[in-house]
């Protein structure tokens, strides 16, 4: 910790620090520091002026266990103070991926906790994340379709058995109370905010095991019904002022293969999800007002790369409908990052989403 503190002292002495609302730290035990945000104060990080570093200068954001949170410093690029023989060559001609943005999830549990705050504190908190001029400046938001493992109960948006026409489809109280209000606050701050959605499970009556979790798959006779279910979700959120930029084929389909897994889930094989995209979800979106809504596949750990995606894209029709590949990070220690490069090289036109938003 003393090294981090020393580094901050050196930076403060050698650079020009920007003006910001600094973190007011609160300790929750060893190495557990949070920044206090209340009705009158939140830390933030305003954009530097100029926004991009001038030639020969750099911007350096520092976070530490002592309470610094994205503390911005500006400095001059020159020789390293501790090693004058060291030379850093920056090759600006080689470019890799473009980062679309960062974001967070509008889950039931997040909304429940936010709702417990005063209105003024709620506004401060949402602003700290989504204000495009200060704070974290999030540009993405994930909104679940129905219940998740961050819900207090198991539910979907049509829990009426055999409702093939989706006559009883309706947003849940959790959508109205915990998701939509805060998503709307966020988009009011940043109209360019992109929302991404996924279902953890189809309604149980559409599944082979008739359960919200476990070894269950979408019944083939409900393939079109489930595509219509996704479309109705897009309709209802649009009525509430929220346009969904992208949807995935389902959150963590591999969970269905895990014995005794309790989380909401629905399994897919790559061949079956390819058929569903090609024959149902893809054309349903393309022939609707949501023809610009992007479709992402996988939405699970990189243990599915590249083989799961390779098999989906053997269905050329499905491949043409798919915009990108959603990847989770929990099992990164098991699978090397090279599979990301391999997948990108196999399908360079497809975009990647690294989902850490839970």
| pLDDT value of position 309 | 98
Q: CB neighbours of 61 closer than 8 A, spacing ≥ 6? A: 45, 70, 71, 72, 73
Q: Do 246 and 309 share a domain, yes or no? A: yes
In a domain, 85, yes or no: no
- Whether residue 326 has a cis bond before it, omega within 30° of 0: no
In a domain, 246, yes or no: yes
Chain centroid to CA 249: 15
Higher confidence at residue 29 or residue 342? 342
Q: Do 140 and 282 share a domain, yes or no? A: yes
How confident is the model over 159-170, as pLDDT tens digits? Answer: 999 999 999 999
Decide if 296 contacts 319 (C-beta within 8 A).
no
In a domain, 342, yes or no: yes
| CATH at residue 229 | 3.20.20.80
What gap in Å lies between CA 268 and CA 247, rounded to an integer?
A: 16
Q: Do 58 and 166 share a domain, yes or no? A: no
Which of 61, 76, 91 is a domain's end point?
A: 76
Q: What is the pTM of this model?
A: 0.88
Interval 5-30 mean pLDDT: 56
Give the pLDDT band of residue 1 (cuts 50, 70, 90): very low
Residue 354: beta bridge partners?
327
DSSP string, 213-279: SSS-BB-GGGHHHHHHHHHHHHHHHHHTT--EEEEES-S-GGGGGSTT--S---B--HHHHHHHIII
Residue in the block written with tokens 């024959």: 279
How confident is the model over 122-133, as pLDDT tens digits? Answer: 999 999 999 998
Q: Do 190 and 329 share a domain, yes or no? A: yes
Chain centroid to CA 282: 22
Q: Tokens for 85, please give them.
A: 């023989």
In a domain, 136, yes or no: yes
Q: Do 137 and 63 share a domain, yes or no? A: no
Give the pLDDT band of residue 41 (cuts 50, 70, 90): very high
Q: Do 200 and 55 share a domain, yes or no? A: no
What gap in Å lies between CA 38 and CA 40, rounded to an integer?
A: 6
Interval 13-41 mean pLDDT: 75
Give the pLDDT band of residue 72 (cuts 50, 70, 90): confident
Residue 280 has pLDDT above 60, yes or no: yes
Q: Which domain holds residue 50?
A: 21-76
What gap in Å lies between CA 235 and CA 223, rounded to an integer?
A: 19
φ, ψ of residue 187 in degrees (nearest 5): -75, -25
In a domain, 201, yes or no: yes
Helix (H) or strand (E) holding 28: none
In a domain, 2, yes or no: no
How confident is the model over 226-250, as pLDDT tens digits? Answer: 999 999 999 999 999 999 999 999 9
Nearest to 205 by CA among 226, 231, 227: 226
Residue 95 has pLDDT above 90, yes or no: no
Q: Do 219 and 124 share a domain, yes or no? A: yes
Q: Do 211 and 121 share a domain, yes or no? A: yes
Query: 52 vs 32, 56, 135, 229, CA distance in Å?
Result: 32, 11, 17, 44
How confident is the model over 249-278, as pLDDT tens digits? Answer: 999 999 999 999 999 999 999 999 999 999
The proportion of the chain whose per-residue pLDDT surpasses 90, expressed as a percent, equals: 69
How many domains are there within the chain?
A: 2
Q: Tokens for 172, please give them.
A: 């849940």
In a domain, 179, yes or no: yes
How confident is the model over 295-349, as pLDDT tens digits? Answer: 999 999 999 999 999 999 999 999 999 999 999 999 899 999 999 999 999 999 8
Q: Do 63 and 126 share a domain, yes or no? A: no
In a domain, 94, yes or no: no
Q: Do 209 and 347 share a domain, yes or no? A: yes
Q: Do 41 and 164 share a domain, yes or no? A: no
Q: Do 246 and 113 share a domain, yes or no? A: yes
Helix (H) or strand (E) holding 284: helix 282-286
């Amino acid at each position: 910790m003393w090294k981090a503190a020393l580094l901050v002292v050196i930076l403060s002495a050698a650079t020009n620090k920007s003006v910001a609302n600094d973190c007011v730290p609160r300790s929750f035990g060893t190495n557990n520091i949070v920044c206090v945000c209340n009705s009158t104060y939140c830390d933030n990080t305003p954009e530097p002026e100029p926004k991009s570093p001038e030639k020969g200068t750099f911007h350096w954001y520092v976070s530490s266990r002592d309470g610094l949170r994205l503390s911005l410093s500006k400095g001059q690029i020159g020789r390293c103070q501790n090693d004058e023989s060291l030379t850093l060559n920056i090759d600006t001609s080689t470019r890799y991926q473009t980062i679309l943005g960062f974001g967070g999830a509008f889950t039931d549990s997040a909304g429940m906790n936010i709702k417990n705050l005063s209105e003024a504190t709620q506004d401060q908190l949402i602003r700290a994340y989504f204000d495009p001029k200060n704070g974290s400046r999030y540009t993405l938001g994930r909104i679940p379709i129905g219940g998740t493992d961050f819900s207090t109960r198991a539910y979907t948006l049509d829990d009426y058995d055999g409702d093939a026409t989706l006559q009883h489809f309706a947003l849940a109280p959790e959508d109205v109370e915990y998701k939509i209000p805060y998503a709307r606050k966020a988009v009011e701050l940043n109209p360019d905010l992109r929302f991404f959605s996924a279902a953890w499970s189809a309604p149980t009556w559409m599944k082979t095991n008739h359960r919200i979790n476990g070894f269950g798959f979408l019944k083939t006779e409900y393939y079109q019904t489930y595509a219509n279910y996704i479309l109705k979700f897009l309709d209802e959120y649009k009525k509430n002022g929220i346009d969904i930029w992208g949807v995935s084929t389902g959150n963590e389909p591999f969970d269905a293969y895990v014995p005794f897994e309790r989380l909401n889930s629905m399994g897919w094989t790559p061949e079956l999800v390819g058929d569903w995209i090609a024959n149902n979800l893809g054309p349903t979106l393309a022939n609707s007002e949501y023809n610009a809504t992007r479709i992402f596949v996988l939405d699970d750990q990189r243990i599915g790369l590249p083989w799961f995606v390779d098999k989906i894209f053997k269905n050329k029709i499905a491949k043409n409908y798919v915009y990108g590949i959603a990847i989770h990070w929990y099992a990164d220690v098991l699978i090397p990052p090279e599979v990301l490069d391999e997948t990108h090289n196999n399908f360079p036109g497809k975009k990647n989403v690294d989902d850490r938003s839970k």
